[in-house]
Amino acid sequence: MSVRLIESLATTEPLADVFSDRSILRAMLDFEVALARAEAELKIIPQSAARAIARAARTEDYDAAALARQTLRAGTPGIPLVKALRKRVQQEDADAASSVHLGATSQDLADTALVLLLKKVAEIFDADLTRLENALQALVAKHKKTVMLGRTLLQSAPPLTLGLKAAGWLGSVRRGRARLKNAMSEALVLQLGGASGTLAALGSRGVEVGESVARQLNLVYPDAPWHTHRDRLAAVICACSILTGSLGKMARDISLLMQREVAEVAEPGDSGRGGSSTMPQKRNPIASAITLAAASRVPGLTAAFLSQMVQEHERGIGGWQAEWPTVASVIQATGVALVSMAETAEGLTVDAARMKGNLNVTQGTGFAEKAALLLSPKIGREAAHELIERATDPKQLRGRTLSQLLAEMPDVRQYLGNEALAHLEDPEDYLGSASEFIRRLSGSAKKSRRGGK
């Protein structure tokens, strides 16, 4: 399945294939075949009818474009699909045609098909998340001691390590993965309720039929049909939204670190990725751009889905019909962001020397907090803060570092000796609990499996 040009920045080929016409048709037909086999197993319909329905359920025999046009008039894909299936069954076995879709309603078909698509999505996401986690874990291990400038409100701050920054990304991704896994496990349930959610057309055999259909499709059989209860799907959408936001945060950090004036990291740029149509020197953060684009789309789509949850009585009007394109867009946006960040993490170029150089450019002002803390026991916290605030004024520094300036101040020299001033701007000496935080974030996968935080 080729990605359509209009969606080329909004999906991946595997996810485009999941939501392709062929894949959707396969999911709907799988539901109908499983329903027929379950009813034949329970002797509600003849075995010969179930076999005829299975033989008629070949995706290549159906015109997806025609079904799409008919869906627009019917308000659900189930009606034209069942009509087409019944027609094909009738051509082979006239008696079997009456057994098609017995006891089900069109929303049963559409909802279960969507759940089957999500089942495929869960497998794709799991592989891509493993890829991203492994890449981030390697980045953390390699750069746990690579010192860089901290930045708060886009201004220089005390140092940290790239390993800690990457561990933060990793921790967020792992939490997002656990959240999404839980939501998916609850959402992968069969929908089979019939006209009003009672399966009255199947008499007392409704639950037996449903359990059999669920087994065949490898889905969970829920406590009851959920036609107008969309909370499970909403949890998946919200989990995707949070995960995409986490990926967007990672992309924002990387794109800012890639600015030419900063130049501390760079995305992989092979095969022409990141080039410019007019400026040969450019290496643009394309993976970050795609991820940020996804992160900007998903919140609005999530809000749209949540507004669609308010559905009327036993079968809704409008809200349910709005869901398919919303779900497909959210899933594909999450997927393209996930793959983009996995590729970036695997091939991220890190310039440790540039990181050290950018620390030096601040003239030691990133260690103002450290200087104030050293002086506070001697002259009081407020006085120390005011002194260091004056000392870090660019007009005072005039090309000197903070430690050099402080060494020239008699009221500082009497409290801070040569050794303290000599090590004031040593970044490795002011990393606090960074290594412990890295250890905790890197080990969070084990804790999450044990039910930890």
pLDDT digits (tens, 9 = 90+) for 93-133: 999 999 999 999 999 999 999 999 999 999 999 999 999 99
Per residue, the 3-state secondary structure of 35-55, as one string, reads HHHHHHHCCCCCHHHHHHHHH
Who contacts 371 (Cβ-Cβ below 8 Å, separation ≥6)?
384, 388, 391, 402, 406, 416, 424
Average pLDDT of the residues of the chain: 93
Among the ranges given (19-28, 99-108, 278-287, 371-380), the one the predictor scored with the smallest mean pLDDT? 278-287
Q: Report yes or no: 149 and 358 within 8 Å, Cβ to Cβ.
A: yes
136-177 tens-digit pLDDT: 999 999 999 999 999 999 999 999 999 999 999 999 999 999
Q: Is the dihedral of CA 256, 259, 265, 271 positive or negative?
A: positive
Question: How far apart are the two ends of the chain, measured CA to CA in Å?
Answer: 40
**Bridge partners, 148 (sequence order):** 160
Closest CA to 431 of 178, 226, 215, 148: 148
Structure tokens that stand for 396 in this block: 């005072």
Q: What is the pLDDT of residue 449?
A: 45
Closest CA to 1 of 18, 60, 28: 18
**Residue range 211-217: mean pLDDT, rounded:** 98
Catalytic (active site) residue 276: yes
Residue 69 has pLDDT above 50, yes or no: yes
Which residue in the block uniquely carries the two structure tokens 């399966």? 199
**Residue range 251-256: mean pLDDT, rounded:** 98
- Domain layout of the chain by residue ranges: 105-189+226-360+432-453, 365-424
Strand duo 147-152 + 155-161: pairing:
antiparallel
Residue 406 has pLDDT above 80, yes or no: yes
**Residue range 250-256: mean pLDDT, rounded:** 98
Q: Report d(CA 146, CA 351) in Å as an integer.
A: 10
Instruction: Give the SS3 label for residue 223.
Output: coil
Q: Report d(CA 130, CA 67) in Å as an integer.
A: 37
Q: Report yes or no: 148 and 159 within 8 Å, Cβ to Cβ.
A: yes
Q: Report yes or no: 64 and 22 within 8 Å, Cβ to Cβ.
A: yes
For residue 160, give the H/E element and its range.
strand 155-161
Closest CA to 77 of 123, 31, 128, 35: 31
- The catalytically annotated residue of 48, 276, 296, 433 is 276
- The catalytically annotated residue of 51, 175, 273, 315 is 315
CATH number for the domain formed by residue range(s) 105-189+226-360+432-453 = 1.20.200.10
Q: Report d(CA 395, CA 363) in Å as an integer.
A: 12
- pLDDT confidence tier of residue 414, bands split at 50, 70 and 90: confident
Residue 451 has pLDDT above 60, yes or no: no
314-333 tens-digit pLDDT: 999 999 899 999 999 999 99
Q: Report d(CA 159, CA 426) in Å as an integer.
A: 10
Q: Report d(CA 350, CA 257) in Å as an integer.
A: 10
Catalytic (active site) residue 329: no
Q: What is the pLDDT of residue 271?
A: 63
Q: What is the pLDDT of residue 100?
A: 98
User: In this predicted model, which residue has the larger pLDDT, 36 or 450?
Assistant: 36
Among the ranges given (144-158, 405-419, 424-438), the one the predictor scored with the smallest mean pLDDT? 405-419
Helix axes 162-187, 231-257, angle to 10 degrees: 160
Q: Report yes or no: 30 and 116 within 8 Å, Cβ to Cβ.
A: yes
- pLDDT confidence tier of residue 229, bands split at 50, 70 and 90: very high
Q: What is the pLDDT of residue 371?
A: 92
Which residue in the block uniquely carries the two structure tokens 């260091």? 388
> pTM of the prediction?
0.93
Q: Is the dihedral of CA 235, 241, 245, 251 positive or negative?
A: positive
**Residue range 42-67: mean pLDDT, rounded:** 97
- pLDDT confidence tier of residue 279, bands split at 50, 70 and 90: very low
Q: What is the pLDDT of residue 444?
A: 55
Percent of the chain with pLDDT over 90: 84
Q: What is the pLDDT of residue 305?
A: 97
